[in-house]
Structure formats: structure tokens, C-alpha cells
Chain A
Amino acid sequence: MFEHFPFWPARASTSAGQVDALFIFLLLLCGLVCLAIFALIIVFALRYRRRAGHQAEHIEGSNALELTWTVVPGCIFLCIFVWGAYIYFQERTPPEGAADVYTVAKQWMWKFQHEEGQREINELHVPVGRDVRMIMTSQDAIHSFFVPAFRIKQDVLPGRYTTAWFHATKPGTYHLFCAEYCGTMHSGMIGDIVVMEPAQYQAWLSGGGSTLPLAATGEKLFSELGCSTCHRSDMQGRGPNLVGLFGKPVLLEDGRTMIADENYLRECIQNPTLRIPKGYKPIMPTFQGLVSDEQLNALVAYIKSLKQSQPKQAAGSSVAAASQQPPATQVH
């Protein structure tokens, strides 16, 4: 009965089940209470209808009853709050080692950049059973990445990264909507999330032409824009050493410490003199306007890929190896 007249979208991610569980619990709880109240109203309205010989009894009220229907709903609400907060906590903490997909939302289209270098517009191919983390920013107004089948939604803000993650469990093609009003074709800013078996996904990946991995593009940009002159990985340059920086707390000039997440990296590239690490001078020029959002994603991906574990000289080779193929320059 439910196929052609469904009451909720397909459950295609790990969190979909939990959200639906809470939703159904609330549906039953509130449905029962509503029906109870409607029944009471109808029964009272009929039983105590105004008729000759029937007098209204004057009841002042009863503090005990008032107390119960203050405390009891209070406790129930607390439980619902905790359950909802638990699910939200999970949705806002992406698991380690999730595959990053950099997203740029533009007035009325979605642009995705996979770590392996693939670029897609309004379509996102993801493998089943892998955690996928969306690192999203907008080039103009506020948009919102909404996949009903995964029960996730996250506004995409200009000038900042926002992240959302999901773990697809069922292959298929699912709707992608923009949920925050963003102008004329807000309703046209839709797309598809294509969840594929891992084998198919690999075939799709390799079939898409030999594109440079995002980190490699980032590395090329890193040297082209002259970042490597100050940010040296081998010795102490004028800029801080970026190897292993990602995820570590950074002590700033004004005494505050910030965790070097994507937003910190983005801010340092665009407004460098705003967050000066301790002991460095504000001499880095701003790259706002010089670097497009896609290039910014590539740079951030590259800096994130500089892991402390790789010995220094190997750092260059592992990335260099991948870029042996003819570097298709995508700098635009």
C-alpha cells in the first residue's frame, strides 16, 4: 500500500533510520495525546450540553492536576530533547577518514569536486557503505544542501565552509534539493545523488578521464602562487610550516588558540592578517579575489594532505607520482 503513496522518503543512509524512529515515536505520542484531547472535548461537549434542569458545577481548579500536567509533559519533553540532541550530535560530528567532497553552491547549481579530482555539476556519485563528508561553501546567497533520502540538510554560507556527512546504505538515485530560498530559480537548483556499488563506483571513477587529484592540483597552485617561498616544509621559512598543521590547535598573536580546521585555512588564505600565529609578522598578502572557490578548495585539500607521518622527501614524491600523467591544467 505504501509504494505508490509513501509517507516518508526512502531510507538510504545510516541516520535516516534513527530520524525516522524519533519521528514515528513523536507521531504516536502526539497522535495519542491529540486524540485523547479531541475525545475529551467531544465527550464533555455532548455529556454536559446545555439543557433544562442541568446546572454547571463550579470548580475552581485543582493545583494537584495543574502540577501533574506541568511536570509530566516537562519530563516527556526532556526525553525527546535528549533523543533529538543525540541524533543531532551524531549528524554534526563527521567520522574520521571520511571521503571529502568539496562543494561550491552557486546561484542555482551545485558544483562538486571529488578528492580523486572528478568534477560534477548537479550530480554526485558516491559509493555505498563509505562515509562521505561534504565541505561546502557558497559563491553568492545562502543555499542549503538537502537530501531527503539521507535525512540531512545543511545551509551553505558564503565566505565560510559548512560541513555535512552521510553514510549511504542503499544504491539508487536520490533527490538533491536546495532548501534555503536563494532567488529566482531556487526551485531549479536540484540534482541527483547517485549511490553505486563500490565496483561500479571505481569503474565510474576511472572512466572519467585522467584528472589530477585535487591535492595535486592544490600543490601545483601552491607553487604557482608562490606560497612555497614562505611556507617551506624543509626549513623555517617566513611563513609557518604547514606540514601536519591540519587539525592541530594554533596559538594566535592575541593569545587565543584556534583549531586549524578548513575554515581556519580558508580564512588564512583570504584574510591572512586576521589570524596571525604567534611569532609571525602579518606580511602575507591577501588572496581574496585572486583565488576562485574551486582553487581555494584545491589548496585546502593540498594542505590537509600534508601529513606529518610522511617523511619530508617522500612528501613530494608520493604527490609527484600521481601527477606524472600529462597535467591537464584546470586553472581558470
Chain B
Amino acid sequence: MSEHIASKKTYIVVWASLMCLTAATAGASYLELGHFNIVLALLIATCKATLVALIFMGVKYISQKMTWVVIVAGLFWLFILISLSMTDYISRSWR
């Protein structure tokens, strides 16, 4: 099959970096960042998620562009749900 097959080394490297990122996010929770705690935690989690998606799930090697559109659409719709709902809760105390 024409499919690209990553080398075993790539998988091990990705796995190791995922473990380090887990340690990083665990450590970061001890820092005192107030509201930035969640921002940092979500940032690290998004890095881990993209790593898993690109290499482990092989999104990097997928030839069909359509699958990229499907993934981005899914994340964008989640963003719609979260952001438009939050507009209600954030502005509820204004009026």
C-alpha cells in the first residue's frame, strides 16, 4: 500500500515527549498562576493531543485533504458551542 509507515524510533520519541509533557503539566499545577493555570494546562494538553493525532493517528501521512477538513470542522464546532454559550454566562452579570 502506498501508505507511509513511520519508523519505530519516531513512535518512541513521540511517546517520550508525551510523558515529559505529562510531567510538565503535573508540575505546572504546583505553580501559582491564578487564572493562567487553566490556560497553561490546556496549552500543554493541546500539544499532547496534536502530537498523538499527527503521529500516532497518522494524520500527518493522510493523503486525502478531506479528512483534514473533517477534523478541523469538528474542533471548530466545539469552539462554536463553547464560545457562544460562554457569551451568555460572561455577560450575565453585566446587565
Enumerate chain A interface residues (CB-CB to B < 8 A): 92-93, 255, 258-259
Contact = CB atoms under 8 A, between A and B. Distances in A.
Nearest to B95: A92
Contact of B93 (A92, A255, A259): A259
B95 A258 contact: no
Nearest to A89: B95
B83 to A, nearest CB: 20
Interface string B34-46: 1000000000000
Nearest to B92: A263
Contacts of A93: 95
A258 B93 CA distance: 7
Majority DSSP secondary structure for residues of B touching A: loop
B89 to A, nearest CB: 13
Contacts of A92: 95
Contacts of B93: 258-259
- Report, nearest first, the 5 A-B pairs whose CB atoms are least far apart: A258-B93, A92-B95, A259-B93, A255-B34, A93-B95
A92 B95 CA distance: 8
Contacts of A259: 93
Interface in B8-48: 34
A93 B95 CA distance: 8
5 contacts: A92-B95, A93-B95, A255-B34, A258-B93, A259-B93
B46 to A, nearest CB: 25
A74 B45 CA distance: 42
Nearest to A93: B95
Interface string B53-95: 0000000000000000000000000000000000000000101
Contacts of A258: 93
A259 B93 CA distance: 7
A93 B34 CA distance: 34
Contacts of A255: 34
Nearest to B93: A258
A195 to B, nearest CB: 27
A93 B94 CA distance: 12
Nearest to B35: A255
A258 B90 CA distance: 12
Contacts of B95: 92-93
A184 B33 CA distance: 51
A92 B92 CA distance: 12
Nearest to A264: B93
A255 B36 CA distance: 14
A258 B34 CA distance: 19
A288 to B, nearest CB: 21
A122 B93 CA distance: 30
Nearest to A258: B93
Contacts of B34: 255
A237 to B, nearest CB: 27
A255 B95 CA distance: 20
B42 to A, nearest CB: 19
A198 to B, nearest CB: 31
B52 to A, nearest CB: 34
Nearest to A160: B92
A93 B93 CA distance: 14
B34 to A, nearest CB: 8
A254 to B, nearest CB: 8
A133 to B, nearest CB: 14
A259 B91 CA distance: 12
